[in-house]
Amino acid sequence: MFSHFLDKDSKTIPECETRKLFDAEEELFFKRMQKALPNCLIFPHVQLASILEAHVSNEKKRQLMRQKLQERHLDFGIFNQDLELLCVVELEREDTPNQDEEYPTKKLLKRAGIKCIRWSRATLPTAEQILRTLAPYSELDAPKIETSMQTIGKFFLDEDLKDPIKLQEKAFTYVEHGNPNALSLAAINRITPDSFIRNEYPHIWQKICLFAGDPGYLKNYLESLFIQNRPIKRRGLPKHVANEVIAIQGENARFVIPKAPDPVWDPTFLHR
């Protein structure tokens, strides 16, 4: 009873220090999701109470349920630009036992119609695996970017506007993503004058433009388009679309830095 009064530090504010928002696994996974879902808003450590409301008539039980929801968090919540919840993502530990069997999080999310995607922390998915699983959300309309012709226009002189050829050359050589050692978006437009990809597969076009600044990543993505067992509806590209993809591959190959070959063991080395 008197312990509280004898404790001189009971009201002393403790020393604090900053801590990282993510552990190493979460940080790696978050950056991969950002790259796979450029059109979405991704929030970490989402409190279950912030996305769920229990319909319980008894006030006491409702307060108890709200407390249970406030005590639990989901690893990530994925929202669209209007802050509408699309799905949640959980990174599971194999050694973590199921808690609160009375109200399992899985069942609560299911009752609310919230899709929950689960991956193991022991084997985190690659960016490509994330992209395949979250493909429906990566195909959302991208927000309008205030670069393109608005930014390009600042580089034009009045006399350029009178010379279509000169105007075209300036537009095609302007690098919008900031990497001079990669395909510019204007160059990709020039390679695909018929705009088959843009018109028939806009979600593919968005990703090509997104990955254009990273030749190695763009190479991997373009190659993945020809894999027939991709777990989405598309099971192959029409020939005219595939030809445009191949044309982009050919131009992008000029910027891909080849990997250094593995060293070859020389058995005479020890005798030198």
Provide the residue-wise pLDDT of the chain in tens; the chain has 272 residues. Answer: 555 555 555 678 889 989 888 888 788 889 888 888 888 899 999 999 888 888 877 888 888 888 888 888 999 999 988 899 999 999 987 665 555 567 788 888 988 899 999 998 888 888 778 888 888 777 665 444 333 444 444 445 555 555 655 554 454 444 455 677 888 888 898 899 999 998 999 889 888 888 888 888 899 889 988 876 544 444 578 999 999 999 999 999 988 877 655 555 555 554 55
Contacts of 141 (CB under 8 A, 6+ apart): 39
- pTM of the entire structure? 0.48
What does the pLDDT read at residue 150? 42
Run of H or E residues at 87: strand 85-92
Rounded Cα distance, 72 and 163, in Å: 63
- Residue 173 confidence (pLDDT): 44
For each of the domains in the chain, give its residue range(s) and CATH number, in order of start. Answer: 24-138 (3.40.1350), 175-252 (no CATH)
| C-beta of residue 182 within 8 angstroms of C-beta of residue 255 | yes
What local confidence, expressed as pLDDT, does residue 98 receive?
54
Model pLDDT, residue 149: 41
Please provide residue 192's backbone torsions phi and psi, each rounded to the nearest 5 degrees.
-120, 65
Residues ≥6 apart with Cβ < 8 Å to 204: 197, 225
pLDDT the model gives residue 38: 84
Rounded distance between C-alpha atoms, residue 117 and residue 140, angstroms:
18
